[in-house]
């Protein structure tokens, strides 16, 4: 199991970015969370199999229909199994 933390900047709040991230994570058996940050970015912490996490990372590069992603900053690590599901915070 691996872990990825992703910060996404651009027009990513108010465009269903968190909702779509959760839907994708749930279909890929990824656990963790997604939240809006005060600076206007979205932060994702996710754990799962590398292939599934890569699919989530790929989604973040474009986001949902009305998003305008400017930058994606991934940071890989070792998963600790600290989440039971994927939630919106």
Active-site residue, selected from the candidate residues 36, 50, 65, 71: 36
Give the pLDDT band (50/70/90) at residue 11.
Answer: very high
CATH classification of the domain holding 35? 3.30.70.100
| 85 occurs within a structural domain | no
| 52 occurs within a structural domain | yes
| 84 occurs within a structural domain | no
| 30 occurs within a structural domain | yes
Rounded mean pLDDT, 71-85: 93
Q: What proportion of the chain, given as a percentage, has pLDDT over 70? A: 100
Specify the number of domains making up the chain.
1
Distances (CA, A) of 50 to 1, 6, 76: 7, 14, 10
* Residue 7 annotated to the active site: no
* Residue 18 annotated to the active site: yes
Active-site residue, selected from the candidate residues 7, 18, 22, 35: 18
| 87 occurs within a structural domain | no
Give the structural domain span for 67. Answer: 2-79
The pLDDT tens digits for 36-62 are 999 999 999 999 999 999 999 999 999
């Amino acid at each position: 199991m691996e872990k990825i933390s992703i910060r996404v900047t651009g027009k990513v709040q108010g465009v269903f970015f968190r909702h779509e991230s959760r839907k994708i994570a749930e279909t890929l058996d990824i656990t963790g969370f997604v939240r809006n940050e005060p600076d206007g970015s979205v932060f994702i912490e996710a754990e799962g199999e590398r292939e599934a996490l890569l699919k989530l990372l790929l989604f973040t590069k474009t986001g949902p229909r009305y998003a305008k992603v400017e930058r994606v900053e991934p940071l890989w690590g070792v998963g600790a199994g600290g989440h039971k599901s994927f939630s919106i915070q």
